[in-house]
Structure 1
């Protein structure tokens, strides 16, 4: 079944405004597209307009949309992202991009995570892979949603992050870029996670597990933190590393074989 493409923008959790369009062409932010492919958006839809599920289904069933057995490149070193996609794509290549500047730019957290995702796309070397995926994930500071929390630098930094998140609600933002048949498409979404007050013993266990390494906010929802954290709103895949709508799109591609 083709992914839904609603005609109107949606509000994100906690009343946050929807992601804004990037100035880059071929931009998907949840539900609309902008393309540099003349008068048509990706998969042949009209530019700057909603794409109907019927139109998506027709294009996804075309021969050129078949991805089963093709070389698919996940340009990320994240084991969690690999675990999400490997059941969908048997030929999945798992290799990150070295040297990408992941310094957050100024602006809102959604702008920051989307900008870093686009940097990764721009750093992609020439490749014959018809399907390439890049992604980035950040947390909003629970005290100030305009500030981001990325990956901890070390164990002490992870401890500080977990102390800040303990007993609080927070937002997790994921941006995902998908290059399909030479055209980039982007999604950016937020989910809300609740973490109860953690005891010193629980914090020590989380830190000693090393599950904080390489994880935005210093935790892994499918790791030891899964015993404590609860998804309140939004897609679980957003917390794990892929925008929910992007994950739905990839699942649809994988099913057209």
Structure 2
């Protein structure tokens, strides 16, 4: 069975990863509430899973709201930076970004990316079957010791402010990193290696 693939994310980094893997897809990124309850914030992996499911579920609702007929895979993802149990999201401002980078300096932290994959099969508008599975992948990231000047210079590059943890490993933020254990793609925001391994229907759609 051939599936259409929908990415429920506006992230250019996730789009780039899918494109580089040769996966044909369209984008359907709905606005979702990304706020979390205190219990969720205390569990970074579960928080990422919940947000990934929320993003994918919103796109599924949008698709099914127009009497969809066909076979579809919807993929939602969310990434959180976990520094000793504290979730670092996108910084609110420059001071918040400095706070995060100071905390990450000289330490190993975890980056958790959750992926929620929903499969829809609708031979007609009245007969719809739906299933989903959500997993998370974790990469350990070791930061160099950062002097205050290092932090100031990096923030001046302007790439911190829409990135969880206030850095981009795929950009100039790579210079802040001493090493990683795990998939680099997880840190960027989409563990493509695990997606292709665990979902053969997606891997089969690759353009070789």
Give the TM-score category using the shorter length.
0.7 to 0.9
Give 1 or 2: higher helix fraction: 2
Q: Which has the higher contact order (CA 8 A, sep 6+)?
A: 2
Does structure 1 retain, via aligned residues, the 8 Å contact 2:75–2:118? yes
**Structure 1 gap ranges (5+):** 1-63
Correspondence for 1:139: 81
**Cα distance in 1, alignment partners of residues 23 and 196 from structure 2:** 16
Does structure 1 retain, via aligned residues, the 8 Å contact 2:24–2:207? no
Structure 1 stretches of at least 4 aligned residues deviating more than 6 Å after TM superposition: none
Residues 76 and 192 (structure 1 numbering): CA distance in 2 closer, same or farther, change over 3 Å? same
Correspondence for 1:11: none
The TM-score with structure 1 as length reference comes to 0.65
Aligned residue among 129, 134, 141 for 1:186: 134
Does structure 2 retain, via aligned residues, the 8 Å contact 1:109–1:140? yes
Correspondence for 2:11: 78
Give 1 or 2: higher strand fraction: 2
Aligned length: 186
2:87 matches 1:148: yes
Cα-to-partner distance string for 1:195-220 (whole Å, 9 max, x where unaligned): 10123332122212221122111111
- The aligned runs of 1:81-96 (5 Å cut-off) are 81-89=14-22, 91-96=24-29
- The aligned runs of 1:39-188 (5 Å cut-off) are 64=1, 66-67=2-3, 70=4, 72-89=5-22, 91-98=24-31, 100-105=32-37, 106=39, 107-124=42-59, 125-127=61-63, 128=68, 130-141=72-83, 144-145=84-85, 147-181=86-120, 182-188=130-136
Q: Give the SS at the match of 1:174.
A: strand
Q: Displacement, 1:247?
A: 4.9
Q: Displacement, 1:186?
A: 1.1
